[in-house]
Structure 1
Amino acid sequence: AAPQGAYRDDDGKPVVLECVREAERRVAGSTNMEYLPMGGSVKMIEESLKLAYGEDSEFIKDKRIAAVQALSGTGACRLFADFQKRFLPDSQIYIPTPTWSNHHNIWRDAQVPQRTFAYYHPESRGLDFAGLMDDIKNAPEGSFFLLHACAHNPTGVDPSEEQWREISHQFKVKNHFPFFDMAYQGFASGDPERDAKAIRIFLEDGHQIGCAQSYAKNMGLYGQRAGCLSILCDDEIQAVAVKSQLQQIARPMYSNPPLHGALIVSTILGDPALKSLWLKEVKGMADRIIGMRKALKESLEKLGSPLSWEHITNQTDWHVLLQRDDT
């Protein structure tokens, strides 16, 4: 089986969040087992959009976002890839080097040609910002780019806020379309708002965007396949049309999304006390990982290693990219 990232406690055991257990208690026996609509749970989508676009987002109020429940982040990416192929058959997708390996499989199986853009700089163990900007500038106008919103997988290297602003500006110049995969919102910094900063910068700058959200990591709902795909459109009329097409793509693929995970997510995010508990638990997980990074770096330094281990604490989330010459 392919390796899959999952959070574990100090004994290596799976963790179920308290907010999830409480949501399960509330959901148990309180609902039927009917199909969800093709587009999924309206409540879950509503709460997901607030998380990604902001509680008071004008785009939500103006109904400019086409959104459907998806089979976690993978399903959201695949729906978008199929949508891209169907309506922009001559387009291609620019994917960072490196990226989560399944990104390549998803767009390949949707028959969308792939190009890569510079991202990781092996010598500095950080972002190849100059290479990234060059590739954005040199890509044909109106290209599609896959961007990791936060906690880049597998490097753990994210652009700074200032770098995101420069990236957004260059996207505007070239009229590129950003598709954000946000699999780790809350896990990078411990604050879901802060982890949505890249998306908010692009929204402020007037971009249309696509966004894949997943609750596998930040709620520990790995097996529930709870996610959301959203696309910001020109207006409400376009959003209705785009949502209709996303549902048409979903229909022969899986018909409609699963119910239980959607109920858990909407119960947690829709209840102020449970949401507050979730935010506390997410911060606890992120802080623990940050602490483990610090401890690993200090241990290596104490062992007398002559190498610099700054990248271990500079990288985010649970991804640490170690190279052969680090040993």
Structure 2
Amino acid sequence: MIKDPVLEIKGLNVDYGLGDHAVHAVRDVNLTLHRGEVLGLAGESGSGKSTLAYGLTRLLPPPGVISGGQVIYHQADGPPVDVLSLSHKELRKFRWAETSIVFQGAMNSLNPVHKISTQLIDVIKAHEPTSTPASRLARAREMLSLVGISADRLESYPHQLSGGMRQRVMIAMALALEPRVVIMDEPTTALDVVMQRQILGQLIELRERLGFSVLFITHDLSLLVEFSDRIAIMYGGRIVEEAPAADLYRDSLHPYSDGLLHSFPALRGPRRELTGIPGSPPDQRSMPTGCSFHPRCPKAFEPCADKIPVLGEPNLLGDQARSVACWLHPARETVA
């Protein structure tokens, strides 16, 4: 059953700098996040994942600029809106209330000189100015309880909490206004494996209870295979493969996806050799011609160095649930 889209990214391009010397960090990205699903976005460092997140939320620091595309948000009780065309006033209302983000340095995103209560209540007060102090405090207590933290921790300062607890506070803050979309940019990178699983398990439980959608960004594909409904693989600023998580894990089509999957040990089953990916990600200032992965690809052949593959439904498979940008599996629209 096809779910309703809640966020559609269409032809998004993000550059750093202007003119001939601009670095094209995100190139013609198309992604759709559906209602209630977890969409994973994976790739090596420098592939453009965080830039994509900051671009679609209009949080890009200078000299980052959005040079093209649309980010269509489907409101629950209104017509779709293009996030990139919202005024500053509209954008201020939109953030946190409709779409929230848990940043890559989430543990360091809390203000060290303010109590947890102050920071949670400020978020609620900014968007609900008519609410009473008592209702805001009650909401803050409820949110901490929701992420498994005792309400008496409201009077703590960030340095009095463990890394995992600070991470949970950030998730509570992101959910305080009941947004329909939560973007998580590598939120568990600094945590140990046990704490990662605890927090992500709790996030999935909250998603099922509250019904929000998640765009989960990480370089750790093993996490996405376990917790995502669909996975998109990003390389050199482009999406190179998108598929249901189970299909990608069982039968990845793009050699880069296969390399990522063989860069971590299997969680269960027989041992397998870790092969990794030779070489390094491309320099965004001087991208290779054709498919940007071809200099590192063990399966590269004649057209890879000259022609950029189109992301689309693989012609021979006829599977509408997945897409790939690879000349090994050319898209239907590129085959005569």
| Higher Rg of the two aligned structures | 2
Asked if these proteins are the same fold (TM beyond 0.5), I'd say: no
Q: Which has the higher contact order (CA 8 A, sep 6+)?
A: 1
TM-score normalised over the length of structure 2: 0.33
Between Structure 1 and Structure 2, the one with more helix by share is 1
Between Structure 1 and Structure 2, the one with more strand by share is 2
